[in-house]
Every structure is written in C-alpha cells, then in structure tokens.
Amino acid sequence: MKQRAKPIWLLGIILLLVACSPDTERESIKPEKGPPSPKEEEPIRIGFSMDTLLEERWLKDRDLFKEAVEALGAEVEIFAANGDDALQISQAERLIQSGVDVLVIVPHNAEATAAIVHKAHLAGIQVIAYDRLVKNSDLDLYVSFDNEQVGEMQAKAITELVPKGNYVIIGGAITDNNAHLLKKGVFKVLRPYIENGDINIIYDQWTKDWTPVNANANMEEALRTTNLQIDAVIAANDATAGGVIEALEAKGLAGQIPVAGQDADLAGVQRIVKGTQTMTVYKPIHMLSEEVAKLAVSMAKGENINAGQKVKNGKIEVPSVLLTPIPVNKSNLNTTVITDGFHSEEEVYQE
C-alpha cells in the first residue's frame, strides 16, 4: 500500500523543532568573532628607563612620573640601572620587547643610549629623553629644564659674592650632556671676568657618575694642589656640592667659601640654612614629570606634539620642551621649595 505524504504543515513543525534543538550545531546563527580590540582601547603602557635611583632627586622623579602617568589612565613600567650602561641598554630592550607604546629614558651615558633609540625605532616605538639629552640619535622628543641657564644662574650668584678670586669648578659626569650644558652656562658668565684677570680658574674637573665621594676626592685634590687658596666653588649639583663641603669641613673652611649647587635636594637646602652652601637651583620636577607624562600619553595616542624649541644632539635638531629653573638661596627658600611642597618646612629647618 502506498504511503501517504505528510501534510505540509506537519513538516514545518518538525523542521522548527529540529532548528531549536540545543544539540544541533548551527554555524549560521553563532555570533561571529569580531575584529581584535583596537590599540586605543587597551591601557597605554609607558616604559621608563632610568639611569639611577641612588640620588634623592631621582627617587622623586620616579614617584612623580608614575603618579602622573597613572592619573592619565595609563600604565608605567620602571627600571633603574644605577649607572651601569650595559644594564640600562638591557633593561630598555626588555621594555621594548614587552611592547610599550612609548619609551622614556633618563640616560646615564648620552652617547651609549643612542643604541636604545635605534632599537626602539626598529620596533616602532617613539622615545622621549627625560631631563638628559641622548646624543647622536634620531630622538623623537627632549624634555628638560634649560640646563645652560642653570649654569648661568650658579655663576651669577657666586660672582655677585666673589667678583674676584680663585675659582674651583667641580663638574658633573663627563658622560652626561647636562654636565656639559651646565659648564657652558657657567663659563658664559665667567668668561668676561676671566678675560679681565679678575677670576682665575685654578681647578676644573669632572665628577665620575655625579657621586659625592668622587666630588669629595676632586675637592681634596683642589685644596691640596692650591694650598687652600680657593675663594669660590661652583659644583654641578647638590650631591657634588655635598662632597665639596665635606672636604671644606675637614679643613675648617665650610661656610667661609661660597659653594653653588643645583637640584634643591633636601640636604642641599639644609646646608643653605646652615650656611655651608650658598645657593642651589630649583627645578620643579613635578612640572617636568607631569609634562613628560602628558606628552608620552599623547604620543602613544598618535597625537601631534608641538615642541617650541630645537636642541642639537650631534645628529639632528631634536624637538624640545625646556622649562625654566629657579635660583634659590636662604632668602627665598620659603617661597619656592617649601611653598611648592617640594620639601616641608619641618624638613628644611629640621624642626
């Protein structure tokens, strides 16, 4: 007997039940996998390669920069090489390989760290030099204070007190471009005095790695070779000034010979209060760290950066942002480093 065909309406119900079955694989109604999330939706990652954390000043930079980057919704990974060139390059390579969006570097050696810039560019990562210039590289941006102006401020302050006499120059690390800029600023002011015969530079030496112990050794040599015939000292920063003043104290001369420094380190401003250091130059590093954080995040987003200045690094004229430093002595300590909260009144006056 011939089988009767099922009614069309019954076939429709059967097909509907099959389609709704949870065991049925239905590629056609599976949600399609969308494209990967765009880079902009991921947290921006900034790499921060630092020369050292062995000085008070750089501990502040690290903390302020981290805080500024995170306030902008980005992440930051920080390494410090503590004066080891090979280690700094290795650490920077780790940051590059980890895929940071922008690399920020405080170079120990202005020449050696050109290799870091080159390697970052091969990975498509832009590089910002933080406070210290990287020489002979295609650096993307340099943000610092006007370090030549810092040297000018030091020399002006000391020549106002000692317009004639024997001067000692205790420089920073020869490997640091900032040390050269500082000295350039110092001699820009001193040159007319030297040419007139009013000032004699009787000792001029670089300080390896900026360390107080090396500055102290330099100053001891200056005292020995000049038979203590020294009228003024210009030290490259407050750490080196500390080494200088320690050597002067050993000879009973601390407070008698004017000494200039820079960075407004706590120990430096305490020495100003005590009278053993004449002046320092305050570089509001909260301004520096916030500016670099803002620029780094903007670069990571692909935004255009308008840097108003250019600084030659031996290869190119690097787009630069240079902030203005402030000379500080006993008369304006309260209205500068204390008012800004850089140091507290209790710390400065050791109350």
The C-alpha atoms of residue 295 and residue 143 are separated, in whole angstroms, by 9
Percent share of the chain, pLDDT over 90:
85
Model pLDDT for residues 203-223, shown as the tens digit of each residue: 999 999 999 999 999 999 999
DSSP characters for 201-261?
EEEEE--GGG-HHHHHHHHHHHHHHTTT---EEEESSHHHHHHHHHHHHHTT-TTTS-EE-
In the predicted model, what is the mean pLDDT of the chain? Answer: 90
What local confidence, expressed as pLDDT, does residue 138 receive?
97
Residue 74 has pLDDT above 60, yes or no: yes
What local confidence, expressed as pLDDT, does residue 55 receive?
87
Least confident of 10-14, 203-207, 228-232: 10-14
* Plot region of 266 (φ>0 → left; ψ -120 to 50 → alpha; else → beta): alpha
Q: What is the pTM of this model?
A: 0.80
Contact (CB, 8 A) for 325 and 282: yes
What local confidence, expressed as pLDDT, does residue 32 receive?
40
What local confidence, expressed as pLDDT, does residue 351 receive?
64
Model pLDDT for residues 256-304, shown as the tens digit of each residue: 999 999 999 999 999 999 999 999 999 999 999 999 999 999 999 999 9
Residue 201 has pLDDT above 70, yes or no: yes
Model pLDDT for residues 26-57, shown as the tens digit of each residue: 333 233 434 444 445 789 999 999 999 998 88
Model pLDDT for residues 129-160, shown as the tens digit of each residue: 999 999 999 999 999 999 999 999 999 999 99
What structural domains does the chain harbor? 40-139+285-323 (3.40.50.2300), 147-283+328-349 (3.40.50.2300)
Residue 9 has pLDDT above 70, yes or no: no
What local confidence, expressed as pLDDT, does residue 169 receive?
98
Residue 110 has pLDDT above 70, yes or no: yes
